[in-house]
Amino acid sequence: MGRAILLTTLLTIDGLGVRHDSRDLVRGFSLAVGRGEIVALMGPSGVGKTTVLRVVAALQAFDAGHVIVDGFALGPGPIPAESRLRPLRRRVGLVFQAHALFEHLTALDNVTLALRHVLGQNRSEADLLASKLLAGLDVGSRASAWPRQLSGGEAQRVAIARALALDPPLLLMDEPTAALDAARRTGLGTTLRRLAQQGRGLLIATHDTEFARDYADRAINLVSAPRPADAR
């Protein structure tokens, strides 16, 4: 049984503690996400959902516990040098709440940037793959648009395409439904299910209980996460 879990578990967070200005942002938090699974990370604003995602994407240092992403382990202490994080970058994609598309690049080039400069693909290879990714997310027609010309929903799908460019098995999303109307939420849910069916694991930080209930396999509440008394 333990062996089976090891094989299918994409993300393990164990006893995570993050402190900032001698205040606990996250304490003793544990979580696992398996392949083909959508896990909703729930909790009210400010509870540390985004912090957990940032720790997994190695954008934020943490003080206790450990994080394992598809066999790549992160420990407490400062964030390792970018050169040592290369294997992690191929394993995790992150869609920011604000999308953070590169303002100076078209939608297409937002997706091709990593293909060309990290994977070393040539321009036509990268363009072909990026066009497919955009088309698969229903924004193929917006390939040549600048980020400022995109609607909120379009920008989110371009951001998903960009995060999927390196084909990571684990996808993190921060408040994906924050700026979507009902129809768009349904569309997003369908897309996420499709990604999970492809064998990816999805960890979605959200306070949208309805969305979590409709599309997530499991919901973990960050506030009610186990807090051992000796965590300090």
Partner 1 sequence: MNGAGAAIGCVCCIALGLLTQHGQSRVLVWGGDAEGGAPFVEADPGDPSTVRGFDVEVAARIAGGLSRSAARFVQVQWANIDQSVERGDFTLGLSGVEDTPVRRARHAVTLPYFEFREVLAVRTEDRDRIRGLHDLRGRRVGTLGATIAYDLLLSVLAASFKKKVSYDDDVHPYADLVAGRLDAVLLDHIIAQRALSRTASHGDEEFVILPAAVASGHYVGVLARRDSALRDSIDAVLREAMRDGSLEQIFRRWHVWDDSQGALFERVLRPGTTAGRDGDVAAAPARAIAYLPSLARAAAVTLLLSVLSMSLAVLVGLGLASGRLYGPLPLRIVTTGYIELVRGTPLLLQLFVIYYGLAGIVRLPAFLAALLALGLNYAAYEAEIYRGALEAVPRLQLEAGRTLGLSEAQILRLVRAPQALRYALAPMTNDFVALLKDSSLVSVITVVELTKQTAIYATNVGNWVVPGLLCAIVYLAMSLPLSRLARRLERRWGGRSS
Do the Cβ atoms of 26 and 16 come closer than 8 Å? Answer: yes
d(CA 67, CA 154): 32
Q: Applying CB under 8 A, which of residues 144, 151, 190, 221 lies at the interface with partner 1?
A: 151
* Closest separation in Å from C-beta 226 to partner 1: 28
Nearer to partner 1, 58 or 67 (CB): 58
The string of DSSP codes covering 5-27 is: HHHHEEEEEEEEEEEETTEEEEE
Site for partner 1 in 111-140 (CB under 8 A): 113-114, 117-118
Of 172, 204, 198, which Cα lies nearest the Cα of 93?
A: 172
Q: Binding string to partner 1 for residues 190 to 229, with x set by CB under 8 A, is what?
A: ----------------------------------------
Q: According to the binding rule CB under 8 A, does residue 93 interact with partner 1? A: yes
Do the Cβ atoms of 91 and 72 come closer than 8 Å? Answer: yes
Which of these segments, 30-38, 62-70, 78-86, 221-229, binds partner 1 (CB under 8 A)?
78-86
The string of DSSP codes covering 187-203 is: HHHHHHHHHHHTT-EEE
Q: Applying CB under 8 A, which of residues 18, 52, 94, 202 lies at the interface with partner 1?
A: 94
Q: According to the binding rule CB under 8 A, does residue 230 interact with partner 1? A: no
Which of these segments, 14-22, 127-135, 149-157, 191-199, binds partner 1 (CB under 8 A)?
149-157
| Helix locations, 36-122, DSSP H | 49-56, 86-91, 107-117
d(CA 203, CA 220): 10
Tell me the residue type at 216. Answer: A
Question: Burial of 231 by CB count in 10 Å (0-12 exposed, 13-18 middle, 19+ buried)?
Answer: middle
Q: Applying CB under 8 A, which of residues 13, 41, 70, 96 lies at the interface with partner 1?
A: 96
* Closest separation in Å from C-beta 100 to partner 1: 4
Distances in whole angstroms, Cα of residue 131 to Cα of each of 30, 136, 137: 38, 8, 10
Which of these segments, 42-50, 102-110, 195-203, 206-214, binds partner 1 (CB under 8 A)?
102-110
Q: Binding string to partner 1 for residues 57 to 76, with x set by CB under 8 A, is what?
A: xxx-----------------
Chain residues that interact with partner 1, rule: CB under 8 A: 57-59, 82-83, 85-86, 89-90, 92-94, 96, 98, 100-104, 113-114, 117-118, 146, 148-151, 162-163, 165-166
